[in-house]
Amino acid sequence: MAAASNIQRVAFIGLGKMGQPIAAHVLKAGFPLTVWNRTPEKAQALIASGAALAQSPAEAVSRADIVVSSLIGDEAVLSVTTGKRGILAGLRPSAIHVGASTISPNASEKLERLHRRKSMHYIAGPVLGRPTAAEAGQLTTFLAGDPASIERVRPVVTSYAPTIVAVGEHPRLANVAKLFANFLLVMSLDAIGQSLALAEKSGLDQKIAAQMLSGFFAHPALKDYVTRIAAREFYPAGFDITGGMKDVELMIDAARDVELKLTSAEAIRTKMRRALKSGLRGSDWSSFTEIDRRPASPGRSP
């Protein structure tokens, strides 16, 4: 429950699968809450619990100290923010807008500029977690923007995202961090799917495959590789890139034998070939990651 001497009025914009449970936690924490959603019916449970319903984003934010928006994509966020009866039309100069949506870094920069031109404050705060985590009030959020403004919104944000990672003063960095996290997840999902496909098509017992996958993601070697790759420590080689190239070729061939195309392995093979041509022969097999990290030069492959 928010302290009575420090209660801030909150407006919540967007009551989708994530927005509705997030707003419910803000209300449960004791913050006076006004909500707006394109479909007003989605606000009924919140209204029954004490929230007020506004007829437009501008009306919802007109008396708010903190505004949290949870909308889908760049277009929706920019439209609701800049519309004739949008957030900027009603936001007070002293108020802070927290953007909880997953949007592009460029859109985040634009939102920051639009708010700054009107002497208003924008904090990027995309959340990490599934709707079940939102319902449990156990989301993680990345916050970026003015440090003083981040501290002002922290009590509200903590009500739905107890794990807060402040990533800098430029709002776009929070969106980069969210995309970074989602990229890790989607690539892991792809690796899981392709690994299971190879096991199934090759006749490997699925219980053994699942056991191997579960153990892999908890294996300490992964942390070692994070450290090695982050620091570009490819010498001495734990496993030489030439041997790694050989193993990747074996993976691709084994999959081809069971009519499976390991697209991730083929992409890695391409990078390994480029790494070998660029002078990384004798390095650790993880050195193929340098191909993506090296700056591209005109007329020169990275």
Q: Catalytic residue, from 84, 118, 178, 246: name it.
A: 178
In whole angstroms, what is the distance from residue 104 CA to residue 171 CA? 11
Beta bridge partners of residue 121, listed in sequence order: 96
Runs of H (alpha helix) within the chain: 19-28, 44-48, 57-61, 73-82, 87-90, 105-117, 131-136, 147-160, 172-202, 206-216, 220-230, 241-257, 263-277, 290-293
Buried b (16+ CB within 10 A) or exposed e, 85-113: ebbbbbbeeebbbbbbbbbebebbbbbbe
d(CA 134, CA 55): 25
Q: How many CB atoms sit inside 10 A of residue 130's CB?
A: 11
**How far separated are the first and last CA of the chain, in Å rounded?**
54
Contacts for 297 with CB less than 8 Å, ≥ 6 apart: none
Distance of CA 31 to the CA centre of its chain: 26
Q: Verify whether residue 178 is a known catalytic residue.
A: yes
Please identify every residue annotated as catalytic. 178
